[in-house]
Amino acid sequence: MKSLLYPHMKTKGISIVLILFVFLVACDGGKKKKKKEDTPATDTTKTETASKKNSHPKLSREVLSDIVKSIPSPLEISFLIKDLGIQYDKKLLNSADNISNYNTKYKKALNLGIYSTDLGYANIYEQTQDALYYLNSVKEMADGLNIGQFFDFKTIKRLATKSNNLDSLLLETNTNLEKINDHLQEIGRADLTILILTGGWLESLYITCEIAKKSPNELLNNRIGEQKIILEQLLLLLSFYEELPNVKSLIVDLNKLQKIYDNVKIDFQYNDPTTTEDDNGILIVDDNTSTKINFTNEDLDKILKTSRDIRSKIIN
């Protein structure tokens, strides 16, 4: 079974790992330099301890852009689900009635990602009332994180109520996320950006698994299998903040999911590219690389159960 998405994901995944490696080396270099500049008479023990607790690596706009591009858009997966003729199911989504449960920044960030995915799903199916319902949920979560000013809700509302503006909606969302990341870096809370991304990804995985279980389909199975790479990337990013108790707990849960994904085998089939010319004489190179995703129904059941359990902890 060919996967059109995975070669792109693989390239981006490698890109992110390299960028983060260079970034961490730069951070370590900076710390060593600072240590040499300390005078012998200065007692740096308390200062260094405080610094370790409060300083976190910052994600640049470029790194965040690569991360966002590497994670399949919930809109893209929702498109696939709809194109397969699968009916809209609001019961799969997180109810806005749960908002009162989210009284920490950790919960608000994760559920901002979840509600954003739900908004995209409702929008793809042209469920205007539900889309507005989830837009309000997104707004409340964003305001609770003091980042509501970075969302152009007037524009998003206009785009969300018109299905022919989905590309613009995605662009607007990504632009907002970049602004949010810049702000959260400035106040030393870039971890919240990663939590927003993780929540959105987890909701998308959960919805896809639930639908694949009820309506078995090889395309959906491929998309679920491909998330193995995305999970690895998210765990890498979360590991920067593992000293935070809530993040550490989330990493433990996601590691359980990763163990299940160890059974998912992704075989790359490299074929020579082919070239053709269009009517204007322009040379077109077709990448014939494909992938085959192999995992069992038992693996799918385990991925669904584990993602459902993790999601339950987040939304309840």
277, two tokens: 């010319």
Q: How far apart are CA 154 and CA 146, in angstroms?
A: 18
- In the chain, % helix, strand, coil (3-state, to 5) comes to 70, 5, 20
Residue-range domain boundaries for the chain: 6-31+57-264+297-315
Determine contact, residues 287/273, Cβ cutoff 8 Å.
Answer: yes
How far separated are the first and last CA of the chain, in Å rounded? Answer: 37
What per-residue confidence (pLDDT) applies to 46? 37
What per-residue confidence (pLDDT) applies to 250? 97
Q: 3-class DSSP state for residue 283?
A: strand
In terms of DSSP H, where are the helices of 187-217?
191-214
Phi-psi region of 281 (alpha: psi -120 to 50; beta: other; left: phi over 0): left
What per-residue confidence (pLDDT) applies to 248? 96
Q: How far apart are CA 274 and CA 287, in angstroms?
A: 7
Q: How far apart are CA 209 and CA 212, in angstroms?
A: 5
What per-residue confidence (pLDDT) applies to 277? 76
Q: How far apart are CA 147 and CA 113, in angstroms?
A: 13
Q: What DSSP line would sit under 43-82, residue for residue?
A: --HHHHHHHHHH--PPPPHHHHHHHHHHSPPHHHHHHHHH
What pTM did the predictor assign? 0.74
Residues forming beta bridges with residue 292, ordered by sequence position: 267
pLDDT, one tens digit for every residue, the chain (316 residues):
333 333 333 333 333 333 333 333 333 444 444 444 343 333 333 333 434 444 555 555 566 556 656 666 667 788 889 889 999 999 999 998 899 999 999 999 999 999 989 988 888 888 888 988 898 899 899 999 998 888 777 776 776 666 555 666 666 666 776 777 778 777 878 788 889 989 999 999 999 999 999 999 888 998 999 899 899 989 988 998 999 999 999 999 999 999 999 999 887 777 777 887 767 777 777 766 667 788 888 999 999 999 999 999 999 9
Q: How far apart are CA 271 and CA 251, in angstroms?
A: 37
Residues forming beta bridges with residue 293, ordered by sequence position: 266
Return the beta strands (E) in the chain as ranges.
Answer: 265-269, 274-277, 283-286, 290-294
Residues forming beta bridges with residue 284, ordered by sequence position: 276
Q: How far apart are CA 294 and CA 225, in angstroms?
A: 8
What per-residue confidence (pLDDT) applies to 245? 94
**Nearest of 225, 199, 234 to residue 94 by alpha carbon:** 199
What per-residue confidence (pLDDT) applies to 283? 73
